[in-house]
């Protein structure tokens, strides 16, 4: 996106270097040239492929997990079912297919899609609009009441900041311009106050250590944690990430299913970072909610009965369909593929039993 590159350069010349979070927010969400403002990133024709696009079993099992939680919070009617970053709408479609086998649960669901991208909102509207799904721009904009919330590959898209341990204190890694007017990373000044941003367990790491923090994820965890502390409900987050907090850069750009330079094509490539599940859990827990996990995605899906669901789908399927169903689920569960890299974390109201898949 040459336009966005030129605008970023002008802004840096005018205001000085940007934080990586500011750079990411512009590259992903600039209303004219941002990645999510213009692209439909999903699927084989896009830049990346996600679990709901790989296997219908993923959304179906998450639907049954939510039905179980709904039971534990006393089967409220209505209950808000919110999805953060619903992408193509596939997860929710599969979720609702499973929910249809439990008519009371299905009838109680009031659907909310929290989606920033106008392109994807249009796709979701087409797929889910007839079901009366509402759109919201943030979790704060959801109506009050009992809540079930799901999010797959949402947290990794939130802007991160990078902090680098200098000789004495921490400094922030910034996006600057070099003499040739190209975007480059440059470290800002060291300052003692920056160490407060670093997870406590990592503050004493040696000079040269790089730590990523995600203020937007922490704010979301705190808001959701506070809500679930006082109103019944549960939230399920699936993403690639780590636990406990660990140093190391994970910010990456992806274009057409291949790695790209983070600064090379703002607006043209997807940007994401691995999720610090420990920081997310700490923020949700501090706000008064109960956190379960993270557990490996493969283990979670297996515990929810992925094999049984596969068998029942396969029973009525052709040979070719069966092979596709099997290979899709295998890709999500195999520890060498998505089964271990992806983790599942639940945030619930206090006083509920341990949710399925987390014991």
Q: Choose between 120 and 222: whose C-beta lies nearer to ligand SAH.
A: 120
The two counts, helices (H) then strands (E), for the chain are: 14, 16
Sign of the torsion formed by the C-alpha atoms of 281, 198, 183 and 7: positive
**Which residues does residue 348 pair with via DSSP β-bridges, in sequence order?**
234, 290
Q: Residues 117-136: x/- map of binding to ligand SAH (CB under 6 A)? A: x--x----------------
Should residue 154 be labelled a site residue for ligand SAH when binding is judged by CB under 6 A? yes
Candidates 9, 37, 102, 116: give the one binding ligand SAH (CB under 6 A): 116
9-48 residues near ligand SAH, rule: CB under 6 A? 36, 42
Q: How far apart are CA 340 and CA 297, in angstroms?
A: 6
What element of type H or E holds 253?
strand 252-255
251-290 residues near ligand SAH, rule: CB under 6 A? none
Whether the CB-CB separation of 174 and 19 falls below 8 Å is answered with: yes
Candidates 26, 33, 39, 50: give the one binding ligand SAH (CB under 6 A): 50
Q: Choose between 42 and 291: whose C-beta lies nearer to ligand SAH.
A: 42
Q: How far apart are CA 35 and CA 25, in angstroms?
A: 10
C-beta nearest to ligand SAH: residue: 85
> Alpha carbon 208 to chain centroid distance?
28
Whether the CB-CB separation of 20 and 186 falls below 8 Å is answered with: no
211-240 residues near ligand SAH, rule: CB under 6 A? none
Residue 332: helix, strand or coil by DSSP? helix
Shortest Cβ 116–ligand SAH spacing (Å): 3
299-328 residues near ligand SAH, rule: CB under 6 A? none
Residue 317: helix, strand or coil by DSSP? coil
Q: Choose between 114 and 279: whose C-beta lies nearer to ligand SAH.
A: 114
Look at strands 170-177 and 79-84 and give their pairing.
Answer: unpaired
Which string of DSSP letters, residue by residue, matches 118-166?
Answer: HHHHHHHHHHHGGGT-EEESSGGGSPSS-EEEEEES-GGGS--EEEEE-
Count of chain residues binding ligand SAH (CB under 6 A)? 18
Q: Choose between 259 and 311: whose C-beta lies nearer to ligand SAH.
A: 259
Q: How far apart are CA 46 and CA 255, in angstroms?
A: 8
Candidates 30, 93, 94, 115: give the one binding ligand SAH (CB under 6 A): 115
Shortest Cβ 113–ligand SAH spacing (Å): 9
Stretch that binds ligand SAH, among 15-23, 128-136, 153-161, 204-212 (CB under 6 A): 153-161
Should residue 342 be labelled a site residue for ligand SAH when binding is judged by CB under 6 A? no
Should residue 87 be labelled a site residue for ligand SAH when binding is judged by CB under 6 A? yes
Q: In what order do the strands lie in the sheet with 252-255?
A: 258-260, 252-255, 270-272
- Which residues of this protein are in contact with ligand SAH, per CB under 6 A? 36, 42, 50, 52-53, 85-87, 91, 114-117, 120, 152-154, 157
């Amino acid at each position: 996106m040459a336009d966005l590159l030129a605008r970023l350069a002008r802004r840096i010349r005018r205001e000085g270097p940007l934080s990586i979070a500011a750079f990411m927010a512009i590259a992903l969400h600039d209303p004219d040239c941002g990645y999510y403002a213009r692209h439909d990133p999903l699927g084989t024709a896009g830049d990346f492929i996600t679990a709901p696009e790989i296997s219908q079993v993923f959304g179906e099992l998450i639907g049954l997990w939510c039905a179980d939680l709904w039971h534990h919070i006393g089967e409220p009617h209505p209950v808000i079912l919110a999805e953060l970053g619903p992408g193509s709408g596939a997860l929710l479609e599969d979720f609702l297919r499973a929910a249809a086998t439990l008519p009371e649960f299905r009838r109680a669901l009031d659907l909310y899609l929290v989606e920033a991208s106008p392109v994807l909102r249009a796709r979701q509207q087409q797929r889910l609009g007839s079901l009366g799904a509402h759109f919201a721009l943030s979790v704060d904009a959801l109506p009050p009441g009992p809540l079930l919330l799901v999010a797959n590959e949402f947290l990794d898209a939130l802007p991160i900041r990078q902090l680098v341990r200098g000789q004495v204190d921490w400094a922030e890694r910034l996006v600057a311009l070099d003499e040739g007017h190209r975007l480059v990373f440059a470290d800002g000044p060291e300052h003692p106050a920056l160490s407060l941003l670093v997870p406590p367990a990592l503050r004493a790491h040696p000079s040269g250590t790089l730590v990523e923090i995600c203020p937007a994820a922490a704010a979301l965890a705190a808001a959701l944690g506070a809500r679930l502390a006082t109103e019944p409900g549960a939230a399920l987050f699936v993403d690639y990430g780590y636990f406990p907090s660990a140093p190391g850069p994970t910010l990456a750009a992806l274009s057409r299913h291949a790695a790209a330079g983070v600064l090379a094509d703002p607006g043209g490539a997807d940007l994401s970072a691995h999720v610090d599940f420990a920081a997310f859990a700490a923020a949700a827990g501090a706000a008064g909610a109960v956190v379960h996990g993270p557990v490996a995605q493969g283990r979670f899906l297996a515990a929810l009965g992925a094999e049984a669901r596969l068998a029942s789908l396969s029973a009525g399927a052709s040979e070719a369909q069966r092979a596709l169903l099997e290979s899709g689920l295998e890709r999500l569960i195999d520890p060498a593929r998505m089964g271990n890299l992806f983790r599942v974390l639940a945030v619930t109201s206090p006083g509920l039993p341990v949710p399925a898949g987390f014991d």
